Amino acid sequence: MARLPRISPACVPVHIIQRGNNRQACFASDKDHGAYAGWLTEYSKKYNVDIHAWVMMTNHVHLLGTPRNDGAVSSMMQALGRRYVRYFNFEHKRSGTLWEGRYKSCLVQEERYLLAVYRYIELNPVRAKMVTDPGEYRWSSYKVNALGKASSLCTPHSEYLSLGAKLSECRRNYRALFPLYIDEGLLEEIRANTNKGLAVGHDRFKEKIEMLTGRRVRTKKRGRPVGWRKLKV
């Protein structure tokens, strides 16, 4: 089955996953994490993609960002991926591919859904049982968004900034979201729709994206289309 083309219209948040080939490690040391973070900072600024949240796991990366230009996410990910593969192969005396094909992504509705994707990303190390608290994991945006760590990479989204009148209040209210239960259905929608290149949000948001881009961002209904019997010869 043909893959849907990826879309990243300007000003619409996008959740990105990049996995190591065959789930192999793409980060083997703190130096690797630091190199990737540095080039992510460089290329996100070069291609005008605001990065709101991230986590760099052992064998995959999650990013949440908003492109300021159409197609900026693809340009950023291509440049970043190629630069990092050259570094990683040289550093670890290896050759060949590192990434599992092209990155996966989905568009994210701002209201209700965006902050859930923030939390989904930053809770990855907890779900993987690497840490018991997201603040214990070094290579994520949690310490920036929740604890105020300085970062040249992070650009707060307006939904995050709506959590308080001051940044200190935003951080406090953001931390308060983490003990709250994330609906399992929403978690599955984030996972499935990112892998399929669809969108996360309500139907009106998805309809708007489809009208804007001319591309389907909703799961096809199972079964034969209505009226298919009449079309049979």
Following DSSP, what letter does each residue of 96-159 receive, concatenated? S--B-SSPEEEEE-TTTTHHHHHHHHHTHHHHTTS-SSGGG-SSBSHHHHHH----SSB---HH
CATH code: domain of residue 65: 3.30.70.1290
pLDDT at 224: 53
What does pTM read for this prediction? Answer: 0.90
pLDDT at 73: 97
Q: Which residues of the chain have pLDDT under 70?
A: 1-5, 220-233
Classify residue 148: in a domain, yes or no: yes
Task: Tell me if residue 17 falls in helix, strand or coil.
Answer: strand
pLDDT at 182: 79
Classify residue 9: in a domain, yes or no: no
What is the number of structural domains in the chain?
1
Give the single-character DSSP code of 44.
H
Classify residue 6: in a domain, yes or no: no
How far is the C-alpha of 57 from the C-alpha of 122, rounded, in Å? 10
Classify residue 212: in a domain, yes or no: no
Token output for 175: 């931390």
pLDDT at 3: 58
pLDDT at 181: 72
| Domain enclosing residue 100, as ranges | 14-202
- Say which amino acid occupies 94: R
Classify residue 218: in a domain, yes or no: no
pLDDT at 10: 94
pLDDT at 228: 42
Token output for 105: 């992504």
Classify residue 104: in a domain, yes or no: yes
Classify residue 178: in a domain, yes or no: yes
Classify residue 25: in a domain, yes or no: yes
